[in-house]
Chain A
Amino acid sequence: MLRIRSPQDLGAGLVFIAIGVAGVYFGQDLTYGSSSRMGPGYFPIILSYLTIMMGLIIGGRGFALDGPPIQRIPLRPISFVILAILAFGFLIEQIGLALTTVAVIFIASAARKQFNVKETVVLAIVVAALCVGVFIYGLSQPMPAWWGR
Chain B
Amino acid sequence: MDAFSNLATGFAAAASFQNLGFALIGCLLGTLIGVLPGIGPIPTIAMLLPITFGLDPLSSLIMLAGIYYGAQYGGSTTSILVNMPGEASSVVTCMDGYQMARKGRAGAALSVAALGSFFAGCVGTIFIAAFGPPLAALAQQFNSPDYFSLMLLGLLMAVVLAHGSVIKAIAMVIVGLLFGLVGTDVNSGAVRYTFGVSELWDGIDFLPMVIGMFGIVEIIRNLEEKEVDRTAISTKFRDLWPSASEFAQSWKPVLRGTAVGSILGILPGGGAVLAAFAAYTVEKKVAKDPSRFGKGAIEGVAGPESANNAAAQTSFIPLLTLGLPSNPIMALMMGAMMIQGIQPGAAVMTSRPDLFWGMVASMWIGNLMLVVINLPMIGIWVKLLSIPYRYLYPAILMFCVIGVYGTNANAVMMILTAVFAVFGYIMVRFGCEPAPMVLGFLLGPLMEENLRRSLVLSRGDPMIFLQRPISLTLLICALGLLLVIVLPNVRKSREIAFQEGG
Q: What residues of chain A have their CB less than 8 Å away from a CB belonging to chain B? A: 8-9, 11-12, 15-16, 19, 23, 26-27, 30-31, 34-44, 47-48, 50-51, 54-55, 57-58, 61, 67-68, 70-71, 73-74, 77-78, 81-82, 84-86, 88-90, 92-93, 97, 101, 104-105, 108-109, 111-112, 114, 119, 123-124, 127, 130-131, 135, 139, 141-143
Collect the chain A residues with CB atoms within 8 Å of residue B451's CB.
38, 43
A92 touches B405 (CB 8 A): yes
> Looking at chain B's contact residues, is the secondary structure mostly helix, strand, loop, or mixed?
helix
B422 touches A82 (CB 8 A): yes
B220 touches A81 (CB 8 A): yes
Most buried by A among B171, B421, B462: B171
- Chain A: CB-nearest residue to B181: A44
Q: What residues of chain B have their CB less than 8 Å away from a CB belonging to chain A? A: 50-51, 54, 167-168, 170-171, 174-175, 177-178, 181, 185, 187-188, 190, 192-193, 195, 216, 219-220, 223-224, 390-391, 393-395, 397-399, 401-402, 405-406, 409, 411-415, 417-418, 421-422, 425-427, 429-432, 447-448, 451-452, 455-456, 458-462
Query: If A40-B185, A40-B190, A135-B406 touch, does A71 touch B429 (CB 8 Å cutoff)?
Result: yes
Most buried by B among A105, A109, A130, A141: A141
B223 touches A48 (CB 8 A): no
> Looking at chain A's contact residues, is the secondary structure mostly helix, strand, loop, or mixed?
helix
B414 touches A12 (CB 8 A): no
Collect the chain B residues with CB atoms within 8 Å of residue A124's CB.
394
Collect the chain A residues with CB atoms within 8 Å of residue B406's CB.
135, 139, 141-143
Closest Cβ of chain B: how far from A144's Cβ, in Å?
A: 10
- Chain B: CB-nearest residue to A124: B394
- Chain A: CB-nearest residue to B458: A36
- Chain A: CB-nearest residue to B400: A85
A108 touches B397 (CB 8 A): yes
Closest Cβ of chain B: how far from A35's Cβ, in Å?
A: 3
Q: Which one, B185, B393, B409, B461, contacts A108 given CB within 8 A?
A: B393
Query: If A40-B185, A44-B193 touch, does A143 touch B409 (CB 8 Å cutoff)?
Result: yes
| The 4 residue pairs across chains A and B that have the minimum distance between CB atoms | A89-B414, A36-B460, A35-B460, A77-B223
Closest Cβ of chain A: how far from B199's Cβ, in Å?
A: 12
